[in-house]
Structure 1
């Protein structure tokens, strides 16, 4: 394996950063997602001798990003940020429609975060990252049938959690 120099690393970062940030964004914090991706590149650069060129580099970096994101969601730092956001969220003057939309997004986001990690990640990859079932199966190293099952169960659980809520956007149509 040929070791990367700084110039090569910059090219990799230019090529994959946007994809990896979108992937890491399921932590629901852009700055945290950017930090996760930065840590992935740093770790890859320092441990690049562990990378064996058997597969695609994008898949390798994707897997590293997913693992870092999962670690972040389990960390105290994440729980602390969530608590601070609930306690100290700024109440600015906004358009009522925008407030309703944000509120509905928050309700859906909270419902998704209440799901187990296995259920949550397939929903996020499928709907927010627009990945195919086969791509999700490859990233998670599970069969496609398992991805389909988790996706179906996740949607059912999410539907049940959101049942009974009157959606303002639907009422105005």
Structure 2
């Protein structure tokens, strides 16, 4: 079991870290979330049905949403707003923020960021995105369209997705 778990961690940790970071915008929180996801996975009796990546992604999304609702996150937002603390950011954060596309997506509200991440980066179908977010398929389509409209002025010519509505 340890070899199998090690393989799963090696294979999916970067992917899950990216998802958590897109939600939290905080590297340390994203690492904690991914660690919690793997701990929960170890405790669960997961039966392989060829959907492990989706399963772990959904766990990560849910943990990230829980974090965004938590007191710790709200306290951090308050402190950041009032004291404007600056911290050294490591390579992953700098890489994500340097990316023009990633930076533009991070500026979207969560309502529009979620469908963009799930649809374009997780390569989920509209139906799958609707199921994960627990909204109607038409709501997903509308949020994707509005997100692309918000991204278009910033990323015109940089992201080919915006050229195809």
- Superposed pair shares fold, TM > 0.5: yes
Report if aligned partners of 2:13, 2:34 keep a CA contact under 8 Å in 1.
yes
Find the aligned partners of 1:148 and 1:89 in 2 and give their Cα distance. 38
Does residue 1:36 correspond to 2:43, yes or no? Answer: no
Listed as ranges, the gaps of 5+ residues in structure 1 are 93-100, 164-173
SS in 2 for 1:52: coil
Report if aligned partners of 2:25, 2:106 keep a CA contact under 8 Å in 1.
no
Distance 1:41 1:75, change over 3 A: same
Count of matched residue pairs: 137
When structure 1 is superposed on structure 2, of 145-154 and 6-15 the one drifting more is 145-154
Does residue 1:76 correspond to 2:71, yes or no? Answer: yes
Does residue 1:60 correspond to 2:55, yes or no? Answer: yes
Match in the other structure for 1:138: 128
Report if aligned partners of 2:20, 2:64 keep a CA contact under 8 Å in 1.
yes
Higher radius of gyration, 1 or 2: 1
Distance 1:83 1:124, change over 3 A: farther
| RMSD of aligned alpha carbons | 3.3
Find the aligned partners of 2:129 and 2:47 in 1 and give their Cα distance. 17
Find the aligned partners of 1:39 and 1:67 in 2 and give their Cα distance. 11
Report if aligned partners of 1:133, 1:144 keep a CA contact under 8 Å in 2.
no
SS in 2 for 1:90: coil
Shift, 1:67, TM fit? 0.5
Find the aligned partners of 1:131 and 1:70 in 2 and give their Cα distance. 17
Report if aligned partners of 2:105, 2:113 keep a CA contact under 8 Å in 1.
no
Report if aligned partners of 1:36, 1:65 keep a CA contact under 8 Å in 2.
yes
Distance 1:44 1:132, change over 3 A: closer
